[in-house]
Amino acid sequence: MENLQSVEQYNALKEQGKHVFLFTAGWCPDCHFIEPFMPEVEEKYSEYTFISVDRDQFIDLCGELDVYGIPSFVAYNNGEETGRFISKDRKTQEEIETFLQAQ
């Protein structure tokens, strides 16, 4: 999974193609919980490009998007937000895949 480098990159990526932004942080135990199975999720949903967004590095962007809990997911298709799975709760692989299937 690629790491977001700038807000400009975020704005460009969300406008073209199918992207899922994963909001996370190094100190977040629930974020580390999903790490082992995320490569499998990425492979299963390869129509999306997954981008990791460090909440602490992009705190203003998180505020703009109302992302206050992590890990959280926001999906886009050619500039249109298609869904969000945002909460402070631990997420299972099944819950993440159910979210992605609905997009």
Domain boundaries, the chain: 2-101
Q: How far apart, in Å, are the Cα atoms of 60 and each of 11, 16, 32, 46, 80?
A: 14, 22, 22, 29, 20
Note the pLDDT tens digit of each residue in 47-79: 999 999 999 999 999 999 999 999 999 999 999
Is residue 88's pLDDT more than 90? no
Query: What is the SS3 assignment for the chain?
Result: CEECCCHHHHHHHHHCCEEEEEEECCCCHHHHHHCCCHHHHHHHCCCCEEEEEECCCCHHHHHHCCCCCCCEEEEEECCEEEEEECCCCCCCHHHHHHHHHCC
pTM of the model: 0.95
pLDDT of residue 89: 87
Given a contact cutoff of 8 angstroms between Cβ atoms, the answer to whether 102 and 76 are in contact is no
- CA–CA separation, 58 vs 63, rounded Å? 9
Considering the domain delimited by 2-101, tell me its CATH architecture.
3-Layer(aba) Sandwich (3.40)
